[in-house]
Amino acid sequence: MRFAKSLNSTPLAPAVVAFALMMPVALSIPALKEIVGDEFGANPFWTHAFMAINLVGAALAAPWIARMRGKCPLRGVATIALIGSGLLFLAMDQAPNLPTLFALRFCEGACHITALTCVLAIAAGSGAPRGRTMGTVGAAMMLGTAAGTRMGGVAWERWPEAMFVVACLLSLLAALLATLALGRSPAASTNDAPSISTPRVGLLSVFRQDPRVLTPWVFGFVDRFCVGVIISSFGLFLEAGHGLDPAQRSRALAMFLAPFALLIYPAGRFVDRVGPIGPLLGGSLGFGLVMSAYGFIPTSWLTGVMVLSGALSALMFTPTLTLCAQFAPPAGRAAAFAGFNAAGSLGFIAGPMLAGVIMQVIAPQVGEIAGYQIVFIVAGLAQAACVLAYVPLAQRAPRRCPAAT
CATH topology for 201-397 is: Growth Hormone; Chain: A; (1.20.1250)
Query: Domain limits of the chain?
Result: 1-198, 201-397
Residues present in the chain in total: 405
pLDDT recorded at residue 187: 42
Per-residue pLDDT, 380: 94
Quick one: pLDDT at residue 330?
64
Q: Domain 1-198 - what CATH class?
A: mainly alpha
pTM given for the model: 0.73
pLDDT for res 335:
63
CA distance 397 to 219: 14
- pLDDT tens digits, the chain, 405 residues: what are they? 454 444 444 558 888 898 999 999 888 888 888 888 888 888 888 887 887 787 777 767 765 655 554 456 778 888 999 999 999 999 999 999 999 999 999 999 888 888 887 787 677 666 555 556 666 777 788 888 888 888 888 888 888 888 899 999 999 999 999 888 875 444 444 433 444 444 444 556 667 777 777 888 889 899 989 988 987 888 889 988 899 888 888 888 888 888 888 887 788 778 778 888 888 899 999 999 999 999 999 999 999 999 999 999 888 887 887 777 677 666 655 566 667 777 887 888 888 889 989 998 999 999 999 999 999 999 999 999 988 888 766 555 554 444 444
pLDDT at residue number 293: 95
Question: Three-state secondary structure along the chain?
Answer: CHHHHHHHCCCHHHHHHHHHHHHHHHCCCCCHHHHHHHHHCCCHHHHHHHHHHHHHHHHHHHHHHHCCCCCCCHHHHHHHHHHHHHHHHHHHCCCCCHHHHHHHHHHHHHHHHHHHHHHHHHHHCCCCCHHHHHHHHHHHHHHHHHHHHHHHHHHHHHCHHHHHHHHHHHHHHHHHHHHHHCCCCCCCCCCCCCCCCCCCCCHHHHHHHCHHHHHHHHHHHHHHHHHHHHHHHHHHHHHHCCCCCHHHHHHHHHHHHHHHHHHHHHHHHHHHHHCCHHHHHHHHHHHHHHHHCHHHCCHHHHHHHHHHHHHHHHHHHHHHHHHHHHHCCHHHHHHHHHHHHHHHHHHHHHHHHHHHHHHHHHHHHHCHHHHHHHHHHHHHHHHHHHHHHHHHHHHHCCCCCCCCC
Question: For the chain, how far is it from start to end, CA to CA, in angstroms?
Answer: 37
